[in-house]
Amino acid sequence: MIKHLMSPLDFSVEELDRLLDLAGDIERNPAKYAHICDGKKLATLFFEPSTRTRLSFEAAMLNLGGSVLGFHSGDSSSTKKGESVGDTMRVISCYADIAAIRHPKEGAPLVASMRSLIPVINAGDGGHQHPTQTLTDLLTIRSLKGRFNGLTIGLCGDLKFGRTVHSLIDALSRYHDVRFVLISPEELQVPGYVKESMKAKNIPFEEVVRLDETTMKDLDILYMTRVQKERFFNEEDYIRMKDFYILDKAKMEVAPDKMLVLHPLPRVNEISVEVDDDPRAAYFKQAQYGVYVRMALIITLLGLEVA
Ligand code: NCD
């Protein structure tokens, strides 16, 4: 059976552990993996803008000795002529060995995977899920904190449309004694289905509006997010919300010493550049981990073994 990745829950906790172990080995011994994908091709089908996800996928495949092909806007593909995502995927199955697809419509990568003859990776579907960002986040947390159990995670910003948040909550909810502090304006709270799923699993969470000393006092991780401009229905709401949170030096001064700051990037104004030099700021390291984990993912989905 072909294995796809649509949501982080497609992997069991044990499979995830193995994948993160593999990513760790890749980080330490890159040369061992430099030819494992010789002759293999990755297709990147990006119907929405991307910098990190697409380029880190491409870097990952090139690091493994493979090659890449693809497009980075729906306008330059046959979608413009009316082709369905299922047909596009079926055809690309004839040209590549594995594909990563990003699409503005929730569920489009799933539809594509149903017609595909090769493994399909959801590289972000609308405001729904972004499982490979979650793998990146998990590798970052595991590498820098050494564990998932017992963590208190603050998620701040656009929790309604931020797909990285939805995937991360799903993934972390499987570990013991994890708590969430959800920090957002009322209009941008996590969707009802995400809350229901946390309640069903008895995951403790609280919703707060302010990002201040009290909110941050127990956090092991503060995961900042951008207000998702492209998913707003009107410009006025976006303008009202866009600078709701700004993590600056003054806020970092009252934050716990242990509190790591993560962000999937791109950032707009929600983290001041002056925070970049703070030892707790881990978002650029996080981007680097994204390459190792995508290398591990490609190897895993292709079922390859190091010789
Ligand atoms: C995120 C996304 O595309 O959802 N970006 C990324 O892949 N690192 C976050 C965002 O765009 O805000």
111/30 Cα distance (integer angstroms): 34
Cis peptide before 8 (omega within 30 of 0): no
Instruction: Give the strands of the sheet with 179-183, arranged side by side.
Output: 205-208, 179-183, 152-156, 221-224, 260-262
Ligand 1 binding pocket includes 128 (Cβ within 6 Å)? no
- Of all protein residues, the one whose alpha carbon is nearest to atom 12 of ligand 1 is 226
Ligand 1 binding pocket includes 119 (Cβ within 6 Å)? no
Question: What proportion of the chain, given as a percentage, has pLDDT over 70?
Answer: 100
Tokens of 274: 């002056």
Ligand 1 binding pocket includes 164 (Cβ within 6 Å)? yes
For residue 153, the model assigns a pLDDT of: 98
Ligand 1 binding pocket includes 265 (Cβ within 6 Å)? yes
Identify residue 56 by its one-letter amino acid code: S
The catalytic position among 4, 40, 41, 102 is 102
The catalytic position among 40, 130, 163, 294 is 130
Arithmetic mean of pLDDT, 239-259: 96
What does the pLDDT look like over 63-90, one tens digit per residue?
A: 999 999 999 988 877 777 889 999 999 9
Task: Examine the pLDDT at 307 and tell me if it is beyond 80.
Answer: no
What does the pLDDT look like over 12-55, one tens digit per residue?
A: 999 999 999 999 999 999 999 999 999 999 999 999 989 999 99
- Of all protein residues, the one whose alpha carbon is nearest to atom 8 of ligand 1 is 264
What does the pLDDT look like over 149-158, one tens digit per residue?
A: 999 999 999 9
Cα–Cα–Cα angle for 284, 105, 195, rounded to 5 degrees? 70
- Secondary structure E strands in 24-145: 41-46, 67-71, 98-103, 120-125
pTM above 0.95, yes or no: yes
Name the more confident of 81 and 271: 271
Q: Residue 215 catalytic?
A: no
- Secondary structure E strands in 104-218: 120-125, 152-156, 179-183, 205-208
